[in-house]
Chains A and B, each alone.
Chain A
Amino acid sequence: MGPTSNIMRHVYGWLLLTPAAILLIGFTHYPTVATVYESLFSKGSAIRPSRFIGAGNYESMMEDPIFWKVLSNNLWFAIGTIPTSVALAIGMALLVNRALPGRSLLRLAYFTPTILPMIAVANIWLFFYSPDIGLIDRLLGLFGLPGHNWLGDPDTVLPAIIVMTIWKEAGFFMIFYLAALQHLPPELKEAARLEGASRWYYFRRVVFPLLMPTTLFVLINAVLNSFKLVDHLFVLTKGGPDNASNLLLYYIYETAFSYFDTNYAATLTAVLLAILAVLALAQFFLLDKRIHYR
């Protein structure tokens, strides 16, 4: 192979990479760098131009009570949604993986919430949660229980949103588990049965470990979603009452498009990116060691 053909091979390779690289750089890498750069400047206007203030935005962020509030809300939102929706997804997948009459219908039913757009879902749940006239309060009324202002009470608004998110997400994760379950070799189950293993033992020692790659994938998705999904806030609460249901990404939106403070929004975005990067790396490195890839 001559040197020319070697160079041509490199050129060819780079040409093949170019389309993807342009998109990645244009829509992912450049915006990331630009965000960090912007976060070092003060808010500008026609009258007072933006100027370099170093870590000034980060310092005022540390003193911003709403930032800490939305961060802790996000933490609770993640803790509230992720384990439950993953557990539910496994449960539902196991259920609809068996030979049942009407299995396809059941699968469809579990998957339906995922198909619906979040904005539509939020509009429906807005009426579910509506005090007195809502579905939930009417059901409670059947048992003689008083209605509750679910979205208007700072103590119940975040749990109410968590419940809705679980309902929305579990079906989506179920699909991945269902696909994984169908790839399990049936011999394993027969062998376990021959050895006299209980169903729980079989699940705990055989099925669950084999599902771990799926679980990692689902967990990463769930964590990303817990930071990424804020569509429902636009409809349900707008982060209220008094920021009780405000999440980090929604706060970034408010800062950028309602307060027009793009530089502070860039600061918050940089923090969000850092959090997501750390979480994703931690999951890869910590969980990866315990995962059995076939």
Chain B
Amino acid sequence: MLTKLKRSVTGLAVAACMGAGMAAQADTELTMYYPVAVGGPLTEVVDGMVADFMAENPDIKVNAIYAGNYNDARIKALAALQSGEPAQLSVMFSIDIYELIEQDAIVPFDDIVSTDEEKTWLDSFYPTLMENGRTGGKTWGIPFQRSTIVMYYNKDAFREAGLDPDSPPATWDELAEAGKKLTKDDGSQWGVMIPSTGYPYWMFGALTMQNDQVLMNGAGDTTYFDAPATVEALEFWRALGATHKVMPEGTIEWGTLRQNFLEGRTAMMWHSTGNLTAVKNNATFDFGVAMLPANKRRGTPTGGGNFYIFKQTSPEERVAAMKLVKFMTGPEQSARWSIKTGYMGVSPAAYETEALQEYVKEFPYAAVARDQLEFATAELSTYQTGRVRKLLDDAIQAALTGAKSPAEALGEAQSQADRLLRPYR
């Protein structure tokens, strides 16, 4: 009798445990932060995608929280982590990876994927978009809102200057030549503008890549700021203003550049693909979008945000978070996101969806960023990334304003970066 009672009690307890386990699984709740770095009602797009996900997965509840720009999102996520009420996953700047690893905040996707299908999923994205998400042989970030730099140009201005509007400059020399024809003596129109406030290191990443030089190694502990090809790239940037006189001297403001282009003050500008929709909607002239010109090769850094999964998560939460990441970065959603924003589709499969194929057919410039991907490289990202980035930003601005020579400015930046990064080697 007693054993029988014992057995049934145990059975009940087991059943209760299983029931509780199932109930917990039935409503896994996820909190996700995401930033918006470009204008437009993008929060609605994200909310729509998340709502669709919850409709497909009624057992998972997702709280998607808009967290400001990239900086704010990182600060909020790390603060939530320290306060003991962490989010389970977040979209953050792709270049935050080393900071997040150093804070022991995130878990590599390799530790979560289990099936072979999921392992191949890790390789289904454009490899260049994975560069900023992989280090030490592990994958820490999955690409979501990603961009590259492209060259916008004013076709009407090209025609007026006697240039072929369908063959934009493809090399540095052609850029300077075309710039000279496009620059008007009275200062009412410049040939080209490359922004040098806000994200100078990002634009510079394009110039150095075009000179066949990367800015850092894959381990994030060494920079190549004083390499001869890097110095040469900065000399060219400075020469556009100082020697060729096709770009205003001093620094060029990131925030007002699009307006300058739309008002016809510059015939060409280098800017993020994130501006594509805004330029398309506001240009009063015939404009074109081209890949950035080449010196030794073509090149651009990628940019934008990746999905990360935090370490302070239960196994069930990780599985649910994985599902969400897979959904949000899947071909259908990626295509939808790309059309609404101008960010690129993150996998080849996204461009094979009907929606995106239609869109590209209608508006071919939407595919320039993708076509340029084969020449792309990772965005500057190292340990101590904020400081290292600032060193390079300061060096670029010092050279562009003529305060220091490119070699001198970059030499100083490199020796300081070495001092910061030595402990990590």
CB-CB contacts of B370-390 with A at 8 A, as 1s and 0s?
Answer: 000000000000001011001
A205 to chain B, nearest CB (A): 49
Q: A149-B250, A152-B401, A257-B75 are in contact. Are A127 and B259 (CB under 8 A)?
A: yes
A168 close to B (CB within 8 Å): no
A288 close to B (CB within 8 Å): no
Q: Quick check: B253 and A130 within 8 Å, CB to CB? A: yes
B260 close to A (CB within 8 Å): yes
Q: How far is the CA of A258 from the CA of B252 in the complex (A)?
A: 22
Task: Tell me which of A104-112, A187-195, A239-247 binds B.
Answer: A239-247
- Chain A residues, CB < 8 A from B387: 259, 261
Q: Quick check: A132 and B187 within 8 Å, CB to CB? A: yes
Of the residues B71, B263, B393, contact of A240 by C-beta under 8 Å: B393
- Chain A residues, CB < 8 A from B99: 260
Q: How far is the CA of A127 from the CA of B103 in the complex (A)?
A: 39
A151 close to B (CB within 8 Å): yes
B255 close to A (CB within 8 Å): yes
- Chain B residues, CB < 8 A from A154: 401, 403
Q: A153-B250, A254-B386 are in contact. Are A241 and B197 (CB under 8 A)?
A: yes
B249 close to A (CB within 8 Å): yes
Of the residues B75, B252, B398, contact of A242 by C-beta under 8 Å: B398
Q: Quick check: A130 and B256 within 8 Å, CB to CB? A: yes
- Chain B residues, CB < 8 A from A238: 197-198
Q: A126-B255, A126-B256, A240-B251 are in contact. Are A259 and B265 (CB under 8 A)?
A: no
B94 close to A (CB within 8 Å): no
Q: How far is the CA of A87 from the CA of B386 in the complex (A)?
A: 41
Name the prevailing secondary structure of the A interface residues: loop
Q: Quick check: A242 and B71 within 8 Å, CB to CB? A: no
B29 close to A (CB within 8 Å): no
How many residues of chain A are within 8 Å of chain B by beta carbon? 31
Of the residues B190, B256, B386, B401, contact of A241 by C-beta under 8 Å: B401
Q: Which residues 236-291 in A have Cβ within 8 Å of B in the complex? A: 237-238, 240-244, 254, 257-261
- Chain B residues, CB < 8 A from A47: 102, 104
CB-CB contacts of B232-254 with A at 8 A, as 1s and 0s?
Answer: 00000000000000001111110
- Chain B residues, CB < 8 A from A213: none
Q: Quick check: A149 and B394 within 8 Å, CB to CB? A: no
List the B residue with the shortest CB-CB distance to A246: B394
List the A residue with the shortest CB-CB distance to B249: A149
Q: A133-B260, A133-B263, A152-B251 are in contact. Are A258 and B390 (CB under 8 A)?
A: yes
Q: Quick check: B386 and A260 within 8 Å, CB to CB? A: yes
A146 close to B (CB within 8 Å): yes
A175 close to B (CB within 8 Å): no
Q: Quick check: B253 and A126 within 8 Å, CB to CB? A: yes
Q: Quick check: A235 and B255 within 8 Å, CB to CB? A: yes
- Chain B residues, CB < 8 A from A198: none
A46 close to B (CB within 8 Å): yes
B207 close to A (CB within 8 Å): no
Q: How far is the CA of A149 from the CA of B398 in the complex (A)?
A: 15
B306 close to A (CB within 8 Å): no
Of the residues A45, A46, A151, A259, contact of B253 by C-beta under 8 Å: A151
Q: Quick check: A242 and B187 within 8 Å, CB to CB? A: no
List the A residue with the shortest CB-CB distance to B420: A259
Q: How far is the CA of A154 from the CA of B400 in the complex (A)?
A: 10
- Chain B residues, CB < 8 A from A147: 187
Between A146, A235, A242, the greatest number of chain B beta carbons within 10 A of the residue's beta carbon is seen for A242
Between B71, B395, B397, the greatest number of chain A beta carbons within 10 A of the residue's beta carbon is seen for B397
Q: Quick check: B398 and A241 within 8 Å, CB to CB? A: yes
Q: How far is the CA of A242 from the CA of B251 in the complex (A)?
A: 10
Q: A126-B253, A130-B256, A257-B71 are in contact. Are A242 and B394 (CB under 8 A)?
A: yes
Q: How far is the CA of A254 from the CA of B389 in the complex (A)?
A: 12
B188 close to A (CB within 8 Å): yes
Instruction: Name 6 extra pairs, CB < 8 A, besides A48-B423, A240-B197.
Output: A45-B104, A127-B259, A132-B190, A238-B198, A241-B250, A241-B397
Q: Could you list 17 A-B pairs, sorted by A, with CB under 8 Å?
A: A45-B102, A47-B102, A47-B104, A127-B259, A130-B260, A132-B187, A132-B265, A133-B263, A151-B197, A152-B401, A154-B403, A241-B196, A241-B397, A242-B397, A242-B398, A243-B394, A257-B71
What 5 A-B pairs are tightest by C-beta distance, nearest first? Answer: A46-B104, A152-B250, A241-B397, A152-B251, A258-B386
